[in-house]
Amino acid sequence: GKAVDLVSEKTSINLSLLWFVIGAYALARLGQVFFDEAKEFVFARVAQRAVRGASLKAFNNDLFVCGVDEAGRGCLAGPVTAAAVILPKNYKNKLIQDSKKLNTHNRMKLYDEITSIAIDYSIIDIPNDIIDSINVLESTFLAMNKAISKIIRKADYIIIDGNKFKTKSKFKYECVIRGDSIYQSIAAASILAKVHRDNLMIKFSEKYPEYSFEKNKGYGTKDHRKAISKYGLSNIHRKSFNLKPI
């Protein structure tokens, strides 16, 4: 009888321990889900507070203004990308800011918003072989010119982020230093260019997983340079850049 009681007691203890472990695991999983959702909520709230009362200016509400910006100019791999966008007159969205000041979640949401409400927009990629052929600055001008040319008929005026631009066309434009932090239409273009290019680099990471393009987006991070040192250059690396390995 004592042996049976002892076995029964051990079984009861083992079952209790098993249920404790299952319960602890379930709580841990629920805690992780809660943490992830809470983190996303906090990021969204921080972004909203950051732009509250600090919305960017419209260049001129009486004109159809085309904002232009680029992404990826300083990367070691992938294209340089330019976007041009014409927002509706009197359109205002406080969440639209320089793409570098936004987290991924908010950039994606704003990309969908901008592409849905824009009078027109265009996004152009200039690949690494062209960058190596004519240099990255000329490639940036080329991307911007191509993007503008797609929607120029609907624009009254062009504003371009940066301190210089070169074109053979005769449209009216001006360059605005740090324009993506001043004018809404340039910031909108910066969002389109960055989201589009980031997504492209994520696709490239499937073909070239060793370089972690899904994380670095082609920028010269320490891990990216280590990968270059180990694996050499891929077909999308810019050979004319200083690709000094670590």
Neighbours of 161 (CB within 10 A): 26
Q: Return the pLDDT at 245.
A: 62
User: Angle, to 10 degrees, between the axis of helix 104-117 and the axis of helix 2-51?
Assistant: 50
% the chain with pLDDT above 70: 76
151 close to 60: Cβ distance less than 8 angstroms: no
Per-residue confidence band for 242, with pLDDT thresholds at 50, 70 and 90: confident
Q: Which alpha helices (H) appear in the chain, and where do they start and end? A: 2-51, 104-117, 128-134, 136-151, 184-207, 213-216, 222-231
> How large is the average pLDDT for residues 176-184?
94
CA distance 85 to 98: 14
pLDDT tens per residue, range 60-80: 777 899 999 999 999 999 999
Output the average pLDDT for the chain.
Answer: 85
pLDDT tens per residue, range 11-65: 555 666 667 666 666 666 655 644 555 445 444 454 444 444 467 777 777 789 9
114 close to 184: Cβ distance less than 8 angstroms: no
> How large is the average pLDDT for residues 218-236?
94
Q: Return the pLDDT at 36.
A: 53
CA distance 93 to 56: 8
pLDDT higher than 90, residue 192 = yes
pLDDT higher than 80, residue 246 = no
pLDDT tens per residue, range 159-170: 999 999 999 998
Q: Which one-letter amino acid corresponds to residue 140? A: T
Q: Return the pLDDT at 59.
A: 76
> How large is the average pLDDT for residues 171-192?
95
CA distance 99 to 130: 25
Neighbours of 232 (CB within 10 A): 11
Instruction: Please name which of 246, 201, 199 lies closest in space to residue 224, comparing C-alpha atoms.
Output: 246
Q: Return the pLDDT at 53.
A: 47
> To 10 degrees, the CA torsion angle through 82, 88, 91, 95?
-20
pLDDT higher than 50, residue 154 = yes
Q: Could you tell me the two tokens for 30?
A: 């629920």
